[in-house]
Structures are given as structure tokens and as C-alpha cells.
Structure 1
Amino acid sequence: MSAPTRPLRRDAQRNRDLLVAAAKDVFAARGLDAPLEDVAREAGVSIGTLYNRFPTRAELIDAALIDVVEESVASAERALAHPDPWQGLVDHLTAIGELQARHRGFTDICVRTLPAGSATEQAKGRGHGLFVALLERARGAGALRPDVDVSDVGLLMWAAVRATEGLRAVAPDAWRRHVGIVLDGLRGEAAHPLPGGPLSPDAVRDAMAFGRLSD
């Protein structure tokens, strides 16, 4: 039986809280590859203190991103409870677009992998299962075209939001128009056959992730 975890000293807990708060802000604005020195500077502590509290980048990401990932899971749960399968899917995809538009780190974590036992990775697994269920429900109702899968929808949403990233300062909601076009293209009614098949999940991750996590 492992020994119980000792609570952090008050100053150590304060430094941890400052680092998590700073990481949330830095990762939201600049993504998960932002320099950790910037996180330490934002928190008002040394880089040594950061590594003392979070020996790896993945551990810091886990602490900083779990809330926003859980927010996406809650969105999927609400969508599955919606009586209209199509509207539930639309509501969830719109919520995901909002998260991606305001939080670059959330966009990154969707295609990055943390250790399997991390809270964030476990939440991502729940969210993925709910997302698949949303698509299957909308497809079964005839609302979603039958020839698209989770990889298609994920890549289309990522592209629609990321394509307007450079316009955020002057048109922060420009992504909504493009997501609306994507949603119309996903409708089952009057759909035309698509050329080729969907990409594999690995191919989508490679396309969407321009780097890998480092310590």
C-alpha cells in the first residue's frame, strides 16, 4: 500500500497555483509549445521553481488544460441530452468552435497525447466517446450525411476555425460563418457522393499537429 500523499507547504501550494494560473493564460494565447520560461515569468517565479513543481511539460499541461477539456466533455453530454439529434450536434460543434477560437491550447490538446493516466487524457477519452455517439445518433436520424466520420468532422472544424485565426483582432467571430458552411455540408439531405474515403485518425493528427510535446 502506497504512503498517503503529503500536502504541500503553504508557499509551495501558492507557487503551484500561480504556475497553473499562468500556464492557463499562456497556453490559451500561444498554444502548448509556448516557452515554459514565459509561464514562470507570468507566475512571478523562477524556471527552477516551475520544474520543481512540474518536472515535465506534460504534467503542467495536464494541470492547466483539464478544466477546458472537461468543459468540452460537458458540452457533449448536454448535446446528447438534446431531443433533436441534429441540433444537439450543431450545439456541440459550435461550442467546440468557441473553445478553439478562444483557447489555442485546447486546439492543440485535441491532437496531442498526454500520458494515459493523466486527468486530461482520460477526459479526452470520455469526450471522444460522446462525440462518436453524437455523430452516430445524428446519422441514424438521417440528419448527418452517411459518408462522413469522426476524422472528417474533426479536421473540418479545425480547418474552419484555424483558417480565420489571423482575423481575430478585427473579426473575432469570423469563424462562425465558416463553421456554418461546414455544418450545411454535413447535412444528410441532398448530399452528393464524396470522392475518396476519410483519412485515418493518425493521418488527421499528423495534419493538425505541427509539433510534439517536449519537456
Structure 2
Amino acid sequence: MKIVVSVSSFDEALKALNVADVIEFRFDLFEGFNDLFNNLDNLDSFEFEGINKINKPKIVTIRREVDGGKYKGDETLRIEMLKKLSSHADYIDLESDLDDDAFKVKCKIIESYHNFKETPSYEELKNMVESKRGDIFKIATVGNKRDLEKLVKILCNYEDVVAFLMGKDFAFSRILATFLGSPLIYCHYGRAVAEGQINAVDARKILEILGVKE
């Protein structure tokens, strides 16, 4: 189990190094990102050294608005940016509804599914996981205790799955998932990028007390 700290700037990434096992660059939250990358040519002048100076595993994410992110640009351009950035990352986050061509990247893949309306049935979740194209499958949904039972069942039956309910009321589900084999827990270090995210320092203390090992 690794603690992932989601960051919205290079400075934040450097500050999080002492508590994070993995850094997730949420480039859709970087200041000026949407304006800078209105065409792919601008990527040539991007500060790749900001990524490369991070000496820990890195996840690159450009989250769409429909999935809770801030990216507002062209979808084809977003995929091309992710492919280029994959040369500088250990993992790229790709949504489960993308076509196979998007998954042709130069690093490992976290295939993600976000749903801000509901949690699908267990059978639907099962089919998603069994047909995954990434190395890790991430499920983040909203729901109730019965929906949490579905995610627990998924975590018990499948490996390399991250699954939790979003929102403050179910922040504990992120901790629970680590007990059930989730390889990653997404945290923040000062500013949450998603409701229900736990501070990385607090998460590490809780996991140590509960005996959850890396």
C-alpha cells in the first residue's frame, strides 16, 4: 500500500516529498494549465524538469470536468498531452470510457472510473474490473452503506483495485480499502483536491496504528 499525495503545483510536490510514497500531478488544477495548453505545440516548452526532479513514483492526471476535474479543452488534445507526459511518469491516469488507442502510452496505467451520481450494480463494477486495460483499476463513486458493500466485495475478490466512496461521510472508506488490499490511498498535503481526501500525515499515522503495511 502506497500513500499518494495529489498536488496542484510543482512547489506543492516538493513539499509533499517527505510524507508521500507517490506524487500525483493533477495538471488540470495547475494554474494556467488550460490556457497554456490550447495547442500541443506548447507542450514542447513545458517544465518537464519540474516532474523529473521528483525522485519518487509519479502519477500524471489531467482530469476532465465530467469526472470532477478542471480540464476544459479539446479531448483529443488531452489524450495527446497524456501520451507525451507518459515518458516522464510511472503511471498515467486514463478514464475507463476511453478507446484502446488512448492506452498506448509509455508507462503503467491507472484506469479510473468516477461517478458523481451513483454507484453501479456489483455486476457492472465486476465487468469493469474484469475487462480492465490498465495495471490498476480505480473506482470512485458516491453512494450509501449498501453501495460501500459492493466496493468491499470488489476489493475482496480482485487485486490491483482502488475503490472508495467519495465525500466526507465516507472518508473512512479510503482507509478501509487499504485493509482489503488496495495498493494506493489518495491523500492531500494541505489542500484536498477531492472531498473526503485525508491529510497524508494523518493517513500515515492511522495506518501505522492499525497495522497496515506497505
Q: TM-score range by the shorter chain?
A: under 0.3
Choose between structure 1 and 2: higher helix proportion.
1
From the CA coordinates, give the structure whose radius of gyration is larger. Answer: 1
TM-score (norm 1): 0.28
TM-score (norm 2): 0.28
Choose between structure 1 and 2: higher strand proportion.
2
Which gives a bigger RCO, structure 1 or 2 (Cα 8 Å, sep 6+)?
Answer: 1
